[in-house]
């Protein structure tokens, strides 16, 4: 059994797919959608470690950068939420041509928001995992008032984004889509997350239309599970859930 890493471009967007070779021709595939300002590696190499763990379990992992993030085209300041949704749709549609046996979506923070939208819209998604998901951006306007603004750009840390880009988040919520999601769904969220409240995950979990669903609430770990033991626990939960529902 060998591990491979493939780099490819679809409509100008760079994608990286890590997978394990198997004797059977049918394979299972996970799409990994990163968070706002993140990339295909994610904080603390979280996505690298998850991809390797999935590959070791015999499940292919497809991770890539949304436009304006990581190695992808365009400056970050041009980003709008709709770009991430279109990039994810393009990636999923492209890989469908390889006829994977099952398709799963895994999303962190904003990536969880996008993953939930896709799971509600596409009938051929088989499994969903949400990590610290941003279910609704209703708090964004009030937070924006605390971010430096020069009339055109909002500035936070080493990043800036156009006013229209930040406002594209304010209008988006996936809470009302929860009952349309019927695939097995795992949600993992830390109670000390100071970026997205775990209460959003609780509310979303209750409304989920999935028969098979699980909510894992951690006492610590923050928004991106910035603790070794916590990260290992999260990865273990992911692999168990994926193996339970993805292996043919």
User: How far apart (Å, rounded) are the C-alpha atoms in residues 85 and 33?
Assistant: 10
Listing DSSP states for 35-87 in one string gives -TT--SS-GGGHHHHHHHHHHHTT-EEEEEPPTTSTTSSS-GGG--HHHHHHH
What are the boundaries of each domain within the chain? 3-136+172-246
User: Is residue 113 within 8 Å of residue 128, measured between CB atoms?
Assistant: no
Considering the chain, what is the average pLDDT of its residues?
A: 90
pTM more than 0.85: yes
**pLDDT value at position 72?**
87
Above 80 in pLDDT, residue 153? yes
Mean of pLDDT values over 183-202: 97
**pLDDT value at position 97?**
81
- Reduced to 3 states (helix: H, G, I; strand: E, B; else coil), residue 28 is strand
Q: Which fold has domain 3-136+172-246?
A: Rossmann fold (3.40.50)
User: How far apart (Å, rounded) are the C-alpha atoms in residues 192 and 222?
Assistant: 5
Tens of pLDDT, residue by residue over 92-148, are: 988 888 788 899 999 999 999 999 999 999 999 999 999 999 999 876 656 666 889
Residue 216 CB burial class (10 angstroms; 0-12, 13-18, ≥19)? middle
Tens of pLDDT, residue by residue over 17-57, are: 565 555 555 578 899 999 999 999 999 999 999 999 998 89
User: Is residue 54 within 8 Å of residue 63, measured between CB atoms?
Assistant: no
């Amino acid at each position: 059994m060998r591990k491979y890493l493939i780099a490819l471009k679809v409509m100008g967007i760079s994608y990286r797919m890590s997978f394990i070779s198997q004797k059977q021709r049918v394979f299972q595939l996970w799409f990994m959608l990163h968070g706002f300002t993140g990339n295909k590696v994610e904080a603390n190499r979280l996505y690298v470690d998850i991809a390797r763990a999935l590959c070791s379990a015999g499940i292919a992992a497809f991770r890539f950068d949304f436009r304006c993030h990581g190695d992808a085209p365009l400056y970050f300041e041009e980003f709008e939420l709709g770009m991430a949704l279109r990039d994810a749709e393009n990636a999923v549609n492209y890989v469908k041509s390889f006829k994977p046996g099952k398709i799963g979506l895994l999303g962190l923070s904003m990536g969880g928001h996008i993953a939930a939208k896709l799971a509600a819209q596409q009938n051929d998604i088989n499994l969903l995992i949400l990590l610290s998901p941003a279910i609704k951006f209703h708090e964004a306007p009030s937070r924006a008032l605390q971010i430096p603004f020069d009339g055109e750009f909002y500035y936070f840390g080493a990043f800036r984004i156009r006013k229209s880009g930040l406002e594209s988040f304010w209008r988006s919520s996936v809470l009302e889509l929860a009952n349309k999601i019927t695939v097995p769904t795992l949600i993992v969220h830390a109670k000390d997350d100071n970026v997205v409240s775990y209460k959003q995950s609780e509310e979303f979990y209750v409304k989920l239309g999935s028969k098979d669903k699980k909510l894992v609430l951690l006492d610590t770990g923050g928004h991106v599970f910035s603790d070794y033991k916590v990260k290992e626990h999260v990865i273990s939960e992911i692999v168990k859930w994926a193996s339970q529902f993805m292996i043919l």
